[in-house]
Amino acid sequence: MTGDVRITVTRTLSKDQQARRERLLEAARELAHEGGYPAVTMHDVADRAGVARATVYRYFATKDHLLTEVAATWAHRVTDDIDALAIGDTPAERLTALLERIVEVAASELTLTSAIIQAVTSDDSSVDDARTVLFLFVRDRLSVAIGDPVPDLDDVEIVLGHILLAALVSLTALRRPTEEVTRMVRMSGRFVLAGALAVGPAPAGT
């Protein structure tokens, strides 16, 4: 998997269409950053991006779909320089450095983080494809941070992804202190990797 931005629009976009789509994403990000989830409406996104209101629906089926795509651009931005973020001599050190960095950025942009987490965890079916792409990207970033071979890496990535999501929900919906959430991801990352390395690969067919 590469670090290229992947989107859920099935047609090929022209240069102008891609630029228009990026303006919509940026407008939604700005509104979410300013006022959280309630501040993002398709009408206001269109007005801020300078496009017709119907244009938004050509790219994004619903508000939650739009904000989930905003979450994807946020994830790319936060983890863009993975080599600089995942610092350490061991897989656990590199992984926890990345997890702590994500929590730090999320806490510094709490209103935006709350909006995108609310969208990503929505039961809106239009979010499904974008959410899957986002989770696969996050798994890829976690795998890159770990670096060294780890038994049952797919399962480890999935568990770590759920831990990260729980951390972001704790920050936003539960309003837990940043220091507490940072400790949680640090300890959880260490425990998951230590457990995987201690147990070794699962027997074939299990």
Q: Distance (Å, rounded) from C-alpha 184 to C-alpha 171?
A: 11
- CB-CB neighbours of 123 under 10 Å: 7
What per-residue confidence (pLDDT) applies to 109? 97
- Model confidence at 182: pLDDT above 70: yes
Do the Cβ atoms of 32 and 111 come closer than 8 Å? yes
Q: What is residue 83's predicted lDDT score, i.e. its pLDDT?
A: 77
> Is 2 a residue whose pLDDT tops 80?
no
- Of 25, 181, 186, 189, whose CA–CA distance to 110 is shortest? 181
Determine the pLDDT at residue 63. 98
Q: 19 vs 15, 24, 51, 56, 145, CA distance in Å?
A: 6, 9, 12, 13, 31
Q: Are 112 and 25 in contact (CB under 8 A)?
A: no
Average pLDDT, integer, range 14-34: 95
As a whole number, the mean pLDDT across the chain is 91
Name the band, by pLDDT with cuts 50, 70 and 90, for residue 7: very low
pLDDT greater than 60 at residue 165 = yes
pTM > 0.85: yes
